[in-house]
Chain A
């Protein structure tokens, strides 16, 4: 995995480089942190010529390890103004790996209004294709056109109209391996707008004529540890439950402890929670031909995804996830899975983040634009984003911009990015992660639910978040987080690395990749102008008690301790 393509969008020149030796043992998030540090001025305009969009595969991509193929997308975030890495499953990372491509860097800024598609041909040669015929298409229509033109097995990384218009909540969408639809998203931080600024509508990857062979340091040793890993994943109770309900089962828990966001993070219990819990989801999901146990990337054995059909039997969306159901559902007072699934489809099609969009709609509801619980009202607001009305374009600038414009006092954002679906008053470690991560509010930056700590108390949460953030930076560099539980131990992971890359790896050595990544990311943000004052939750989480009587009570000063390592 050593091929790097660099696309100068000013001159339209594409250069082929070999991956630098110092980048060889990096992938995904860790590689993005390093390249941005080396090549991008942190003070640049996120939508200007100085910023770069990086697409790269994880460190284990190209191997036969299940769940190894995630695509990381990175750059200076148009939404937060800080460093950003967002990753996704789908087919693209696997398609790139089959060509031996580790990374694509889009740089410069076009001087004309010509849009292009970066086309990776069967022999691996890249070319820029004119995209004029495809402008104005959203992701579903665009992906269908590419499949029509290049065949069903083409890999597509695209932006919808949201990215073309520069919406700061826009995503980069990928084709899902099971459904063939562009329903997987590198969602957070508005990286679709960065791709749009480069006037690259998509990266389209044809199936490699000659498959790249990973240079295993010790194939026999690798096969032994691979077998052990697969056995652990398949025998894990977590895998069984993920196959049944995917991530949505988290609602069964968060709704009971007032950690599920309800009506713009009011902190209340959701009185209609039964209608969106896993039992209701499973009952609804199979109506009309929907399915569970779907894998979003080729070769996945966890298969936690699903496809959701209309009651009339038409495909509607896939990969309906916990965060989407919570932010577009309970956080808007909506308890109708059909409405939530329609919102999810619209978000994927337009190419906007379901977390940011759900939070934005809830802020609109708080301002009285439409009432909480009004599903059709929520759809109408999202339609405004699709239509590009004046208010829809404002919504495209994200939750904070909308909240400020409407005079809303309770705006649930950190560093300009909306909070995901865990209320920090009842899972306090996540409040620390939201506050201190260089990514802005992001649950994947460091989940803190774990044995031995009371999540409703402040004790040990800073230490737990520090440890989890370092672990998450490793996960995002290696593989999918839903197979990580069985990989992340000193029996399997060092053995995998030793057999792939040679030498005798230790667990500590691997965790150090996470530590170094977080240091680089924080340094980037500091140089971009962020200070400790930005590492803080909105005031209302400190002052408004949740239904369980808790407030967030870890002070900004206490949270700064997280950086003492």
Chain B
């Protein structure tokens, strides 16, 4: 189990940030975001886009994902 934006998510250890973002994009229940420009924070550390595929997520990790957008 990991936390994504303060909410629990069943997770297979070792899958990466990139896997998470793909899941978010495809799963309507999880879909936090309106397009694919993100800021990703894992355990209070900023993850750069080039590291998404190299950053595994493990049980207990706390992830926050932010889009870029403005409401009208």
Given contacts A245-B34, A252-B31, A252-B32, contact A238 B69 (CB under 8 A): yes
Nearest A residue to B7, CB-CB: A256
Shortest CB–CB separation between residue B31 and chain A, in angstroms?
6
Chain B: CB-nearest residue to A269:
B6
Partner of B72, one of A237, A252, A321: A321
By a CB distance below 8 angstroms, the chain A residues around B11 are none
Q: Is there an interface contact between A444 and B70, defined as CB atoms closer than 8 Å?
A: yes
Interface check B60, CB cutoff 8 A:
no
Interface residues of A in 336-381 (CB under 8 A from B): none
Whether B39 lies near A304 (C-beta < 8 A) is: no
Given contacts A252-B31, A279-B28, A456-B64, contact A326 B72 (CB under 8 A): no
Contact (Cβ within 8 A) B67 A253? yes
Question: Contact at A236–B5, with CB atoms within 8 Å?
Answer: no
Residue of chain A at shortest CB distance from B5: A256
Are A249 and B70 neighbours in the complex by a CB distance under 8 Å? no
A455 and B36 in contact (CB under 8 A), knowing A304-B72, A322-B71? no
Name 9 interchain pairs, CB-CB below 8 A, sorted by A: A250-B70, A252-B34, A253-B66, A278-B31, A323-B71, A450-B68, A451-B38, A481-B72, A548-B6
Asked if B70 contacts A454 (CB within 8 A), the reply is no
Instruction: Provide the residues of chain A in CB contact with B33, threshold 8 Å.
Output: 252-253
Contact A241 B72 (CB under 8 A): no
Which of A258, A447, A453 has a CB less than 8 Å from the CB of B70?
A447
Interface size of B by CB at 8 A reads: 28
Query: Which of chain A's residues has its CB closest to B36's CB?
Result: A237
Q: Which of under 10, 10 to 19, 20 to 34, or 35 or more describes the interface residues of A?
A: 35 or more
- Interface presence of A247 (CB below 8 A): yes
- Per-position contact with A for B34-69: 1 when CB-CB < 8 Å, else 0? 111111010010101100000000000000101111
> Chain A residue with minimal CB distance to B37?
A451
Q: Any chain B CB within 8 A of the CB of A420?
A: yes
Q: Are B6 and A247 in contact (CB under 8 A)?
A: no
Contact string against B for A residues 240-268, beta-carbon threshold 8 Å, 1 for contact and 0 otherwise: 11100111011011001110000000000
Contacts of A422 in B (CB 8 A): 71
Q: Which residues of B8-34 are within 8 A (CB) of A?
A: 28-29, 31-34
Closest to B25 in A: A237
Is the beta-carbon distance between B35 and A241 smaller than 8 angstroms?
yes
Task: Report chain B residues within 8 Å CB of A304.
Answer: 72
Q: Report whether B71 and A449 are in contact in the complex, using a CB–CB cutoff of 8 Å.
A: no
> How far is B5's CA from A547's CA once the two chains are assembled, in angstroms?
12
Give B2 Cβ to nearest chain A Cβ, in Å: 14
A323–B72 CB distance below 8 A? yes
Could you say which residues of chain B place their CB within 8 Å of the CB of A319?
Answer: 72
Task: For B36, list chain A residues within 8 Å (CB).
Answer: 237
Instruction: Specify which chain A residues have a CB less than 8 angstroms from the CB of B35 in the assembled complex.
Output: 236-238, 240-241
Chain B residue with minimal CB distance to A279? B28
